[in-house]
Amino acid sequence: MRTTRKCLGLILASGLLLLALFYAWSPGTSSGVDIWQRQGRPVKKLNAKMQDIISGNPDIAYHIKEDVACRLAQNPCVCQGDEETFHLPFSNLLFPRMWAHKLDVPFLESQPDPEATKRHRAQEYSSFRRRSYSPADAFIVAEANSPLQYPIQGVEVRPLKTIIIPGLGLKEETRSDHMVYLTAALGTFDVAATVANVSLKGEGEKHMILSSPLLPALNRQLQFVTYTNTVFHPKTADTVQFGTEGHQSFFTIKVGHATIPKLYYSGYQTEYNISALVTIATKTFLRYDKLKDLIDSIRQYYPTVTIVIADDNKHPQPVTGPHIEHYIMPFSKGWFAGRNLAVSQVTTKYVLWVDDDFIFSANTKLEKMVDILEKTTLDLVGGAVREVTGYTATYRHTISVEEGGEEGDCLHIRSGYHHVIEGFPNCVVADAVINFFMARKDKVLQVGFDPRLARQGHMEFFIQGLGSLHIGSCSDIIVNHASKIKLPWTKSDSQKAYEKFRYSSSKTNNIHNELFYFKNRFKCMVSI
């Protein structure tokens, strides 16, 4: 019963939230150019009719289906780990345990004024929301049986330019006078042609009224209605109100520049030319012997592919040879800084990331990675790393974020993947993969590597890329790992995550905590 009530509360709360979101938006009227977002403005008076549409029939009883209702997002989320029930050697491997880690307490404890830090985070978050909100995200309901015809989506205008609004119409019974009106916030209306027997009011303004005693004439006139964007913003949307007596509707016109494509010319080829398409990037520190083995192994299979090396050794040694670019960095700049530098210097369409102690073999078929990137919508594809012991890892994970209210959101990391890729039976889609991957260079640069993560950091890149990278993982593209040192992913994942995220006063850990708690606004994480 308690669950039922909780779910019911949740459903009602979500409904109210949607209402609030819908009505929070209200057009501005100032004369200056307003680049503030409309979200968060004082809520305008609720339109009683719309409210009725959303929450109608309050008298009719209903039964909550618990198994379904409880799948709806819970607000706020919590991170719950598994209890440790028994202790056996390898029990963690056989029955992986879910670990829950608080991120707020460890980070805030390290702060001189925790409350001030929390307020700072809240401020930064609200300004992020203002920057990222688009009126095109607003919730809009189309009324039943409206005589109005209008475009639901797909209308777009370049900043400060003019378009004809397609699809406008009025379908109603003939009467002595027919009238429609249009209202916008970021632009004005006009007509590209006039039609006899139609009268217009407000041409060139934000509010235009069209009326006629003849319905066909009015509908003809509606085909010539134009919208001119007058408030510059490189990427936003205008919500247009289109109404007649007793009915109103809303639709959005997207305002924005066109996306400028970034295409790579790699010469006309009948088969993939890896040298023209791919650059291999790596970062080296204290392991020139390993790096030399890596380069030699690459040259055996790919003699002309460019290799970019970022090097932050104290006493850098020359690394020379054809198609090698060696970038010396300040001493100990770190792991992610090196990745950033190396990737930024890539001029090919794809970049292959390798560690400096990997060794190419006949199974390291870069053509397979190129093939899947060329044929699918994937941005990044990981391979497999074979240890000296013969153990092969793909390190596939899924990541999700649940809403957590004011305290921050909850991050979930799980071993596994989403689905197999059709036509590529050895490949799956996941949210995070191993440290051996090929990716579209532009997409990797877009996500970037936080240069403060100096010694450790892998999952962080994929967390930053969540929602912008489409990621695959193929188990049949294999690179060998030369070192006998245990790689982090050969430990059980939960063990590793635990070691990484548990409370520690070390500087590295505090950067991780800051990254998750402050930059990404998480309050806790669960991993398995």
Ligand X SMILES: *[C@@H]1O[C@H](CO)[C@@H](O)[C@H](O)[C@H]1NC(C)=O
Where do contacts with ligand X occur on this chain (CB under 6 A)? 196-197, 213-214, 269, 273, 275-276, 304
Q: How far is the CB of 370 from ligand X (least distance, A)?
A: 12
Q: How far is the CB of 355 from ligand X (least distance, A)?
A: 25
Q: What is the DSSP string of 312-363?
A: --SSPPP--STTEEEEE-STT--HHHHHHHHHHT--SSEEEE--TTEE--TT
Q: How far is the CB of 170 from ligand X (least distance, A)?
A: 17
Instruction: Give 441 or 523: the residue with its C-beta nearer to ligand X.
Output: 441
Q: How far is CA 279 from CA 282, 310, 370, 468, in A?
A: 10, 13, 12, 22
Helices assigned H by DSSP within 357-403: 366-375
Instruction: Give 279 or 527: the residue with its C-beta nearer to ligand X.
Output: 279
Q: How far is the CB of 339 from ligand X (least distance, A)?
A: 24
Measured between alpha carbons, how far is 469 from 449 in angstroms, rounded to an integer? 14
Instruction: Give 145 or 270: the residue with its C-beta nearer to ligand X.
Output: 270
Q: How far is the CB of 22 from ligand X (least distance, A)?
A: 40
Instruction: Give 213 or 448: the residue with its C-beta nearer to ligand X.
Output: 213
* CA terminus-to-terminus distance, the chain: 31
Instruction: Give 191 or 497: the residue with its C-beta nearer to ligand X.
Output: 191
Residue 207, helix vs strand vs coil: strand
Which contacts (CB < 8 Å, 24+ apart) does range 169-175 have? 169/219, 169/222, 170/215, 170/218, 170/219, 170/222, 170/244, 171/147, 172/147, 172/215, 172/244, 174/215
Q: How far is the CB of 196 from ligand X (least distance, A)?
A: 4
Instruction: Give 166 or 216: the residue with its C-beta nearer to ligand X.
Output: 216
Could you tell me which residues come within 8 angstroms of residue 528 by beta carbon, excluding any fewer than 6 positions away?
A: 96, 97, 98, 99, 413, 414, 415, 493, 494
Q: How far is the CB of 173 from ligand X (least distance, A)?
A: 17
Instruction: Give 24 or 214: the residue with its C-beta nearer to ligand X.
Output: 214
Q: How far is the CB of 194 from ligand X (least distance, A)?
A: 11
Instruction: Give 196 or 362: the residue with its C-beta nearer to ligand X.
Output: 196
Which strands form 247-256's sheet, in the order they lie side by side?
156-157, 247-256, 235-244, 178-183, 207-212, 199-201
CB-based closest residue to ligand X:
276
Measured between alpha carbons, how far is 181 from 523 in angstroms, rounded to an integer? 48
**How many contiguous H segments (helices) and E segments (strands) does the chain have?**
15, 26
